Amino acid sequence: MVPLASILINVIIPVFSVIAWMWILTGAVDSGDLAHKGVGSLKYFTVLSNLFSGVVSLIHLIVCLAGSVMPGWFVTLKLVAAAAVMLTFLVTAVLLVPQYGWKSLYRGGNFWLHLVLPLLAAVDCCLFVPVSEVPLRMTLWAMVPTAIYAVFYLGRIFMHGARPGDSEYDFYNFLRWGVSMVPAVVTAMLLVTWGLALVVRLLGWLVQG
């Protein structure tokens, strides 16, 4: 029997990922910095990763309510989604809050996308999803969403000849370390994402036994 808490989490994540995005999309609620009214909001990894997590959680909910057994590949997908949104949580807390302030980054839709939903996704994996059964080699898939986003993000930067401080294209301000440091920054982000997947997997093993 699926725990009620897990069912609730997998209801909250897809519902509020869409609601939070709609707040940003329509501008109905002031979502602070790093919020873009309209479809331009899809340029943010925060929005994309949370919508991805929402879709995965919705599928999880359907599988659970149908009484089906969760296949191994889907357990890996849950881990990948949790790592993606936890990267959003970590980057926001460590890199972006010092630039924009916590009141701006945890307001409106961003409160859910930067904080609540990533933590719920991690909690669901740690407590209820058998992520400890994911083979170590399969945890490498956690880096795929970050890698795909990096290709498009850097493509926009170089296509438009963006320079450090150009907030239109380098809105995460990663060029502040210099163009020559881009490979190192991307590598670091990929490794951090993988590390987050390993941490969630480890916590799942410790908590679930």
Q: Give residue 80's Cα distance to chain centre.
A: 9
Nearest to 89 by CA among 63, 53, 39: 53
Give residue 165's pLDDT.
61
- How many domains, the chain? 1
Write out the residue range of the structural domain in which residue 173 sits.
4-208
Q: What is the dihedral of CA 178, 168, 106, 61, to 10 degrees?
A: -100
Q: Report whether pLDDT(34) > 70.
A: no
Cβ-Cβ contacts under 8 Å for 99 (sequence gap 6 or more) = 173
Give residue 49's pLDDT.
97
CB 22 within 8 A of CB 50: no
Half-sphere exposure for 52 (CA within 13 Å, toward CB): 24
113-130 mean pLDDT: 97
- CA-CA distances (angstroms) from residue 63 to 18, 70, 115, 158? 20, 7, 26, 42
Residue with tokens 């949370």: 50
Q: Residue 27 — very low, low, confident or very high, per pLDDT cuts 50/70/90? A: low
Give residue 164's pLDDT.
64
Record the tokens describing residue 56, joined without a space: 């995965």
What is the per-residue pLDDT across 59-114, written as a single tens digit (0 to 9) for each? 999 998 988 889 999 999 999 999 999 999 999 999 878 877 777 788 888 899 99
Give residue 191's pLDDT.
98
Record the tokens describing residue 148, joined without a space: 């795909």
